[in-house]
Chains A and B, each alone.
Chain A
Amino acid sequence: MSNASSAPQHSTALPNGWEMVVGLEVHVELDTKTKLFSASPNRFGDEPNTNIDPVTLGLPGALPVLNKHAVELAIRLGLALNCKVQPSTFHRKNYFYQDMPKAYQISQYDQPINIDGYMMLPGDVRIGIERAHLEEDTGKSTHIGGTSGRIHGSDYSLVDFNRAGVPLVEIVSRPDIRNSDQARQYVAELRSILLAVGASDAKMEEGSMRCDVNVSVRKPGEPFGTRCEIKNVNSIRAVGKAIDYEARRQIDVLESGGTIRQETRHWDDSEGRTHTLRTKEDADDYRYFLEPDLVLLDPDQEWIESIRASLPMLPAARRAQLAELTGANKESESVYVIVERGQDEYIAAVANAGGDAARALVYVQQAFAEEGASPKVAAKDIATLTQMERDAKLTATQAKTILSEMVANGGGDPVALAAAKGFEALDTSAVEAMVDAAIAQQADAWAKYCAGEEKAMGALVGAIMKASQGKADGKVVTAILQARRAK
């Protein structure tokens, strides 16, 4: 079974040689001031129906006008996902629902703005991006009465149109994902990219980033199986759980002689399972046609190139740079964490000030979790601390104590702090004397240790550390004990 506590979780293998095939459709709300086709605020959390206008409400005669900044953010995202930006059109997707008063959603259909991109995942796994297109969000319904809070069995619904018309980009991956780890990595990386390019605040808990998951199963090499689409997957953790559940459900159906119906299913996070929401054939005839109230969107090359030039360094490139600087693996947890927090530039500043980058990576990961991208502690002081530890002027434990003090005080000179605490690493001859004393006192433990019982070393080290009042370097103590035993 998967281990929930260790950092890179591993999805369990499917039984009997089955393989899952997964594609993701991720909707993100763009970080604009106004809606996609009208000038009402795009703002989460306002009083219901306070950000509405004739376009939002679909009043007769209201005409949509495209938000230029939304287009720019969509292009930024497309370029960051290695997409081709192309001339595009808008279509009406027709269906009836109470949170969409026009009875159609304006979306992009056969000519989306971004096509044919990709994202790289750990292990050089390449996930294709089929398209990343613009569309408008719907309003929000609350179903009242009945038992479940769902639409079925409810007495009536209350509708808030603040969200209606908010600009979305829907990012559609190719069915290149083969396990739930990759799916979670994909969503996490997409979120990092969205934040890096400033396209969205990507808050899954507030619904500004929403995942639909397409899952099917097959035996390797066989054609794709019938897929089910799972909605309401609202956290990265739920993406993994929903996929693993759904793949096993489909395998159970197939192995007991059944067939998979193409349908939309609902993820129930509290129950940890999916339910049928509707079968696909009921819903799929959206009668798309070109939106006659909007014209061709054809961004000129100059605009696209100026957007490309304004893109920041993306998370993958920053991780590679940090790994190079610190000697860490670019797929290690510490490298991911530091870039996620935006503290990679800080570590570069420590290195520039003569610090040890590898030690700085460890310090910053451990002590700067609450510090954000611009820690208060001066980079040069962290540089000095790494040098003191490297030069054995401080033990690792002492360095950690001083680091905590520096973080708590928002800075400080590590040399002065070490002096004030009386931290001076003991010279080796003093440590050797303590080792000999400990061996004499703990004869039992020493005998066991010499007989090959490694655990017995703990008692000896503990006695030595106590005698030195924590000033002895644990690594030096261990080395001396090993040397004594080898004699």
Chain B
Amino acid sequence: MDVKTWTYIVVGLSFALYIGIAIWSRATSTKEFYVAGGNVSPISNGMATAADWMSAASFISMAGMIAFAGYGGSVFLMGWTGGYVLLALMLAPYMRKYGKFTVPEFIGERFYSKTARVVAVICLIIVSITYVIGQMKGVGVAFSRFLETDYNTGLYVGMGIVFFYAVLGGMKGITYTQIAQYVVLIFAYTVPAVFISLKLTGNPIPQLGLGGSTADGTPLLQKLDQVIQDLGFNEYTTSKDGSTLNMFVYTLTLMIGTAGLPHVIIRFFTVPKVSDARLSAGWALIFIAILYTTAPAVAAMARLNLTETVQTGPVGQAASNLEYDKRPEWFKNWEKTGLLKFEDKNGDGRIQYYNDAGESFKQQGWNGNELVTVDKDIIVLANPEIANLPGWVIALVVAGGLAAALSTAAGLLLAISSAISHDLLKGIMRPDISEKQELTASRFAMVCAIAVAGYFGLNPPDFAAGTVAIAFGLAASSIFPVLMMGIFSKKMNRQGAVAGMVAGMSVTLLYVFQHKGILFIPGTSFLGSMDANWFLGITPNAFGAVGALVNFAVAFAVSKTADEAPQGVQDLVESIRIPSKD
């Protein structure tokens, strides 16, 4: 059977499974729609959280980013896992004890202010929409590349599937589908990694293979360092991402951004008890760590494979460079997509892939790097082909990528629709509607959210790449600090909370916009995205932590100008701090 047939079968089966679960788990009450009835077991919730959290970016892009950044890519690994420690220790148990449906609801009640609730809804919607655009794009791309449909058809199919189980089942449907999606995605990620590790190092466990030795006895990482340094690249195991300060701040931003993402936080409303919320965060991190500790192995091995495919012997001998006519099949496949591009700059019919920033390669007749495009996203997707794995493994990777994108999209859409139906409609505009009406409204809000996400998926704004900075920056600078102060500072009042959120959000948005363009419109970046203009050398993507600091500082300063939180609110804080009812 060819790869395409396999892909249709595997993707078709996985979709049938998701739809089957949707029909089986219809939501009949708002509690089921918003929090899956509140009786999901900690392990199940951990698995669903892992699928919810790991997006197309984690599945498809992360290993590629690490492959080309080397040690500098560690910010993603530590940032996107370390956030779960914050979540488990400082947010999840207290949010569960509070025991309602949404994050803005907590902020509104804790800060006894509808303004705070509305500001929180706005932050939540900006964060979730920017995040969901990337997922929709991932779905469209995966379909169009592997099923040879056009991008739009792929997107419609993806939207249809999400529509079916998210609108019908709400959080209940999403939870059980996410569990299935986790199984699909983790299997799809680890199977090729095991094969490749076995092939390169003889060790079937990629995490150990990364520290293992290659066939000639040299440690894998030492060999990789050597091979790429010979080609003028920075040493893999030490190359940094900007300054040490930038790595520090970037990691911190990703950590507190992770802990502040509303679609992740609401997953902890679905377990029965406070102790389950703690345990569930632990399980979630185990399930996430399986992928996150495999990713650096995939990254290093893929970089070595790619480099050695092109540079087959010592640098400097003409015969060491791969002849273009002898390039492998996967190379040709990816050239068709435009994600891998070769230009024979010196006209010798061979491929030279190296860092052409220096002059030192000129004398051996090299005339610039000839792999002019090597898209980071091909690392994971092309991995099974590079390693010559059977067709069903490639099909599995496609199903895994789709599972990762769909599960995250569904979680985000639920966060958006519950903020609209529960916080804006029921909480502020029409408090008198019945539960049945609210349930209908939440389904309607879900449909609208899917339509908006789909629209952005069909007309991807130019700023898709920059939006991750916004999503994490805002979650880190607005939502995380306000939740922390709500729990850990009994006396923090509404004036402080609102001022803090607005200040944190504004500073972060301003910094991103002034370097990347106002609303990412090219040409409006009045400071230019260049090192010299960066505040202490901090890149815009890394700025959320600074925004969070501003949020805390402004909140505390402003809170001193007004009365402390009323007694009733302080009692609420005291009660969420202990797990039991009294």
A and B form one complex: no
B contacts, CB < 8 Å to A: none
A contacts, CB < 8 Å to B: none
